[in-house]
Structure 1
């Protein structure tokens, strides 16, 4: 129960962060605001695709629909490759591959937590939560390392909250809390918008000429 309370605390912090992000100006340095807005939309769409397909994996785990789960998992992998590829124009293939690895580990931990929750295996749940926490740290080190406009604290908070959203959703499927699931989705969607916008803003600050 204490882990669930901690997850909920992270969710509250994420929602507080949305207020600050909404007030940021769209113009970033010498970058063309229209180009920045276009890139934000591209990333938003990709991240929404991520939570959409992961939700399908989770829901099919809960109902033990293996065929549908496997199909959704293929979409998760394809989407992960697309998200990772957005880094290539800025940092090259090696950075794209690193981002893919981090996203894949994140999804793997979510899937592990989902399977453990269905099985009622608390030890495996705890191991998955530990992997999510470690993954958030690794995201922070990597993204701050390539872009000084992405602080470790910001990245760690964004990824930790993202993982907590998945955990909350899994617990709600387990408890058949369908009314609450309906409220969780828009919260998850809004949060990945923040991730996408934060990434794009940092890229535009570091590489304004690529948004001219």
Structure 2
């Protein structure tokens, strides 16, 4: 149980950290942007791989697909915000939230301990924390940027704990 708990926290902390690195790189136009994106996408694979022992390869791969879409849409939202293209920002933001709802639906269907509404609320809050970081960074409001990151980090730890608790409840025999 402790190993699962710690592994889940590590995976979701990496998600937050590599997302942060990508936001910084993309907004600043740094040369490491593609490498950071590749590492962030690897994290999505790692998260999907972590659920395969519980739900199988097909479900793990489906989660990877949904999480990769989450990242690619986040990049489109960020690019639209950076360029000031309000039409694209609205369009991609809507798609980003739809993807979060798809992830919530997928996870809640896999585990009765993960309510779809709670999943949606948690994932929507995650998107808002990222939005707050991007908005603050674009405004060069470093204190607000850091605050949004810190709040998002705390939120993802709660999310990871919720996922671990759900797995432990659903598969108690795997933890004896």
Class of the TM-score when normalised by the shorter of the 2 chains: over 0.9
Instruction: Answer whether contact 1:132 1:160 (CA < 8 A) is retained.
Output: no
Deviation of the 1:208 alpha carbon: 0.2
TM-score by length of 1: 0.80
TM-score by length of 2: 0.96
Q: For structure 1, which runs of at least 5 residues remain unmatched after alignment? A: 1-34
Q: For structure 2, which runs of at least 5 residues remain unmatched after alignment? A: none
- Whether 1:44 and 2:33 are equivalent positions in the alignment is no
Alignment of 1:12-161 (within 5 A): 35=1, 37-65=2-30, 67-161=31-125
- Whether 1:172 and 2:136 are equivalent positions in the alignment is yes
Between Structure 1 and Structure 2, how many residues are aligned? 176
- Which 4+ residue blocks in structure 1 deviate beyond 6 angstroms? none
Tell which structure's C-alpha radius of gyration is larger.
1
Secondary structure of the corresponding residue to residue 29 of structure 2: coil
Instruction: Answer whether contact 2:21 2:36 (CA < 8 A) is retained.
Output: yes
Residue aligning to 1:182: 146
Deviation of the 1:79 alpha carbon: 1.0
- Whether 1:210 and 2:169 are equivalent positions in the alignment is no
Q: Deviation per CA, 1:26-82: give whole Å up to 9, x if none.
A: xxxxxxxxx2x32111111111111111111111111112x2111100110111111
Report which structure shows greater RCO (CA 8 Å, sep ≥6). 1
Deviation of the 1:118 alpha carbon: 1.1
